[in-house]
């Protein structure tokens, strides 16, 4: 199996893709992060790209339509590495900080186990990129992945803390690179 035939680690249902497009129109480029607990359990969290700091312990599952990267915590990835993850959407408001929460829907994940052939191909291909080793020069990526904490890249009216939720403001103010600090 060559790289073009590798099974994607991340997919989205058509309804989820529609919501990603709608939220992108409102909030600009997006990103997802899948953690292993906190807030809404293990629901995928949707953020404006760059609002969530991606680090060495985050694994890139892939890029969804709209050039939307999907990251997962490394510990969670170890549990899920044998599965293909699909982001879906259901009615009902989640309790987390994800962008879709006020819309009356929430993103969820569904998964299936890779076949033995798919697992072997992914294993032979090597580990997916991590936040500290990702080739940020790839054409399909945005500068917000390259420098998620360089808020000078944002238009002035979108810079934190103006656009950031209160719960995230303290996180970013604690970072030495945050100009709002």
How many domains, in total, are found in the chain? 2
With a CB cutoff of 8 Å and minimum separation 6, the contacts of 90 are 105, 106, 108
User: Could you tell me what percent of the chain has a pLDDT over 70?
Assistant: 67
Q: Dump the DSSP string for 119-162.
A: HHHHHHH-PPPBTTT--TT-TT--HHHHSTT-GGGS-GGGSTTT
Q: Would you say residue 143 lies in a domain?
A: no
Q: Would you say residue 142 lies in a domain?
A: no
More confident call, 58 vs 178: 58
CATH number of the structural domain spanning residue 86: 2.60.300.12
DSSP 3-state assignment of 27?
Answer: helix
DSSP 3-state assignment of 9?
Answer: coil
The per-residue pLDDT for range 45-87, each reduced to its tens digit, is: 999 998 888 888 999 999 999 999 999 999 999 999 999 999 9
Whole-number pLDDT of residue 133? 74
């Amino acid at each position: 199996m060559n790289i073009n035939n590798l099974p994607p680690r991340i997919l989205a249902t058509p309804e989820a893709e529609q919501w990603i497009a709608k939220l992108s129109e409102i909030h600009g480029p997006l990103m997802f992060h899948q953690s292993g607990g906190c807030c809404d359990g293990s629901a995928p969290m949707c953020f404006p790209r760059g609002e969530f700091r991606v680090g060495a312990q985050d694994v890139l599952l892939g890029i969804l339509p709209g050039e939307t990267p999907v990251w997962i915590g490394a510990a969670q990835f170890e549990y899920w590495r044998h599965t293909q993850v699909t982001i879906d959407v259901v009615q009902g408001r989640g309790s987390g900080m994800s962008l879709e929460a006020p819309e009356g829907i929430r993103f969820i994940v569904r998964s299936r186990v890779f076949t033995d052939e798919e697992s072997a191909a992914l294993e032979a291909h090597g580990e997916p990129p991590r936040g500290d080793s990702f080739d940020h020069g790839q054409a399909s990526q945005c500068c917000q992945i390259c420098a998620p904490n360089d808020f000078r890249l944002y238009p002035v009216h979108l810079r934190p803390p103006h656009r950031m939720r209160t719960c995230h403001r303290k996180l970013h103010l604690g970072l030495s690179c945050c100009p709002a600090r």
